[in-house]
Structure 1
Amino acid sequence: MKIFLHFILFSFLLLFTAASVSADTRYISDQLIVTVRSGKGNQYKILETLPTSTPVNVLEEDKDYLKVVTKKGTEGYIRRQYVSKALPKKTQIRQLKKEIITSQQLLETQQQSFQTSQNELNDNKNQITELSAQLNQARQALETKESEYNTLMSHSENVLNLDAENKQLAEENNSLNSELLVLREENQNFHRSNMIQWFLAGAGVFFGGWIIGKISRRKQRRF
């Protein structure tokens, strides 16, 4: 609306400025058809007929008449009272209507541009909101993955420790198995040695008894 008012004021200024600068250009007054005559008076020949709003250039003037030249190049005289320095009201109204239409079109264009900018702004806000949501989701996903990774690493350390312990236990088991085999072998050897010793002891007792028996019998035979 401010643009529209400024444009109207500017248009009025242009009209008045143009009227003041073109001092030699004047216009046929409202609702008139004026004749350009070859001399100062109705008795002179009509050279051209000019309707309302027709511009003419003034060459000379006196109290009652103006000597003018038309767009066609006709030079003649017109009564002073039929010519005005200002644009006729009808012409001003027509021009103002055109300017108002132009201003309205400009205003509509500005409003459309503003609406487009507003829509783009809303779109940008929506995009910012959407991107912010995506960023938060990405951050949450990152935190989840980091937590899972840390848990996995912790479990991995436990697995490595358990693996090392298992290897150590396996080595100890193998060592104990070896020692057990040695002990079993020693036990078997010891058992065999004891059996031999018991066998030898038994055999010795038996042989000793046999010898003693034999000696006793010989002594009995002598008596």
Structure 2
Amino acid sequence: MAISLMKMNLKTLPGYFMGLYLVIVSSFIFLCIPSTVQAEYLYVIPTAEIALRSGKGTEYRVVAVIVNGSRVQLLKEDGDWSMIRTSDNKEGWMPKRYLSASPPLKDVVASLQSERDRLKKQITDLRKQLNDVSEARNQHEQDLKACILDRDKFRKSYDSLKEDAANVLNFKNALSETAGELRELKHKYNIAEQENEHLRNNSRIKWFLAGGGLLLAGWIIGLITTRGRKRRPTLL
């Protein structure tokens, strides 16, 4: 600080002391003003009606009369007095000793009764929900039993269809084998028919040749016989 003062110019020295003076005065004013508290709500304790005054003292005029148990907003405190704001936005001072953070007994009782009613209603609703859940559970159990029965029926039907499918497959295989055998028999029949036709053709040819041979033999015999008859007179 001394070094700074030595470096200062004489023209700036009065301004420096003026700034220091303002800082000291501001600090003094800040320390002397009443303490301001964060806005909070208090209750007037059960007693006679309390006068709300325009200043911190009984000599100030009465702004309003506060009924005990009233809920007020604390604005600030100064010694034994508190500045408050009522529910109808009236502001004033009242003795600090008549304020409490705890609500009056009647409000507590009313709050407990309201909470009791709320809990009773909640219990009633929960019982109703429990009954609904129980009914739904019973219905679900019945549906589950029905589903199990249907599942067993479907399983039996599936097993039966599976067995039928296996039988159909076996029958199809047997039918395929029979069709193969039938084709083979038909092929053999066609071959036999061709052979029979060939044999019939050969038989016809043989009979034709035999008939032709007999006819030729008869013709030759007839020819020989005719010649023999013609030669006999000549020999006589």
Name structure 1 gaps, 5 residues minimum.
1-27, 34-51, 53-69, 74-90
Residue equivalent to 2:224 = 211
Aligned to 2:97, the other structure's residue is in SS state coil
Q: How many residues are matched?
A: 144
1:132 maps onto 2:157 in alignment: no
Task: Give 1:98 shift.
Answer: 5.5
1:156 to 131, 146, 169: 169
Once the two structures are aligned, what percentage of the paired residues are identical?
A: 9
Distance 2:224 2:214 in 1: 15
2:97 to 46, 69, 72: 72
1:201 maps onto 2:226 in alignment: no
1:106 to 101, 111, 119: 119
Amino acid at match of 1:202: L
TM (norm. structure 2) is 0.49
CA offsets per residue over residues 56-80 of structure 1, 9 Å max, x none? Answer: xxxxxxxxxxxxxx9729xxxxxxx
Aligned to 1:138, the other structure's residue is in SS state helix
Change (3 A) 1:215 1:94: closer
Residue equivalent to 2:186 = 173
Task: Give 1:144 shift.
Answer: 1.9
Task: Give 1:161 shift.
Answer: 0.7
1:186 maps onto 2:211 in alignment: no
Name structure 2 gaps, 5 residues minimum.
1-45, 49-67, 69-94, 99-103
CA offsets per residue over residues 174-200 of structure 1, 9 Å max, x none? Answer: 202211211221121122112212211
Amino acid at match of 1:220: P
RMSD: 3.4
Task: Give 1:170 shift.
Answer: 2.0
1:122 to 135, 150, 154: 135
Task: Give 1:209 shift.
Answer: 2.4
Aligned to 1:164, the other structure's residue is in SS state helix
Task: Give 1:93 shift.
Answer: 8.4
Amino acid at match of 1:72: R
